[in-house]
């Protein structure tokens, strides 16, 4: 199966390796817009990946990102510049609004067994990336 995210970027069988690049978490609007332009200049077609909330930090005092609403607003600005966008979601209710901005939704590894989250991500968007399934049976069930 092959999925065309744009005329210049396809994922899946016999497609060239796709570049996914960006900061781990959104630090500022200026930073992500700068990075997106620089990555495109250097690497060509790619998926811009950034998180609005990194909930899996090693300390409760670590920076987590701008939050859902502000993060989606910033990612919408990246998309408005012509970039494909990938972001992760943590709750089923985030799937619809995030899918309105993102081309790909990613489910973090620590949430990949949350069936309701996976179902809502798939319902909201054609492409839903799941990270690091530990069980082949579970991966096939989804």
Domains within the chain, CATH numbers bracketed: 2-141 (3.20.20.70)
The predicted structure's pLDDT at residue 131: 54
The predicted structure's pLDDT at residue 127: 58
Q: pTM of the predicted model, to two decimals?
A: 0.82
The predicted structure's pLDDT at residue 133: 46
The predicted structure's pLDDT at residue 7: 78
One digit per residue, pLDDT tens: the chain, 142 residues? 777 787 778 877 887 888 999 999 999 999 999 999 999 999 888 999 999 998 777 788 888 899 999 999 999 999 999 999 999 999 999 999 999 999 989 988 888 888 999 899 888 876 555 554 444 444 444 4
Q: If residue 20 lies in a helix (H) or strand (E), which one and from where to where? A: strand 20-21
Hey, what long-range contacts does 74-78 have (CB within 8 A, 24 or more apart)? 74/26, 74/29, 74/32, 75/26, 75/32, 75/50, 75/101, 75/102, 76/101, 77/29, 77/32, 77/33, 78/32, 78/33, 78/36, 78/48, 78/50
The predicted structure's pLDDT at residue 25: 94
């Amino acid at each position: 199966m092959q999925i065309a995210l744009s005329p210049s970027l396809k994922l899946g069988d016999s497609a060239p390796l796709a570049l996914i690049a960006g900061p781990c978490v959104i630090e500022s609007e200026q930073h992500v817009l700068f990075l997106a332009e620089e990555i495109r200049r250097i690497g060509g077609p790619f998926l811009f990946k950034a998180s609005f909330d990194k909930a899996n930090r090693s300390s409760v005092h670590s920076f987590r990102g701008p939050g859902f609403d502000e993060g989606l607003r910033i990612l919408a600005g990246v998309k408005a510049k012509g970039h494909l966008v990938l972001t992760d979601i943590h709750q089923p209710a985030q799937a619809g609004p995030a899918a309105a901005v993102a081309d790909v939704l990613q489910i973090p590894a620590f949430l990949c067994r949350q069936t309701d989250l996976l179902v809502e991500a798939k319902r909201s968007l054609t492409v839903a990336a799941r990270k690091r399934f530990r069980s082949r049976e579970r991966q096939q069930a989804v």
